Amino acid sequence: MIAPHKYLDLNLSLLNLGGVILSIVKEQEVIKYDELLEKVTLSRGINAKEVFIPALSFLYLLGKIEYQKDIDTIEYIK
C-alpha cells in the first residue's frame, strides 16, 4: 500500500489517509471510532473504508494515536 503503482489513487493511499485521520484527531484530541470513520468516508469516499484500519494501525505504530478500548475512542498522543 505504501509502494506506488499506476492504479494507485493517491487520495486513498495509506500515507494520505493517515494524514487525514491525524488532522481530524489532532483537531478534536479524542474522537469516537465510528465518528472518525464517518468523517473519513465523507471526506474521501466510501472506498476509504478499505484503507481506514491499515492507516489507523500505521499511526498507532508511529505512536501518534492510542485506542481506548473501554470507551471505543481514538486519542491523539502529543
Range of the domain at 69: 10-76
On whether residue 56 sits in a domain, the answer given is yes
Q: What is the pTM of this model?
A: 0.88
Q: Is the pLDDT of residue 1 over 60?
A: no
pLDDT of residue 6: 78
Residue 5 in this model has a pLDDT that exceeds 80: no
CATH code, domain with 58: 1.10.10.10
Residue 2 lies in a domain: no
Q: What is the pLDDT of residue 10?
A: 81
| Digit-coded pLDDT (tens) for 13-72 | 899 999 999 999 999 999 999 999 999 999 999 999 999 999 999 999 999 999 999 999
Question: Residue ranges of the alpha helices (H) in the chain?
Answer: 14-28, 33-44, 49-62
Q: How many domains does the chain have?
A: 1
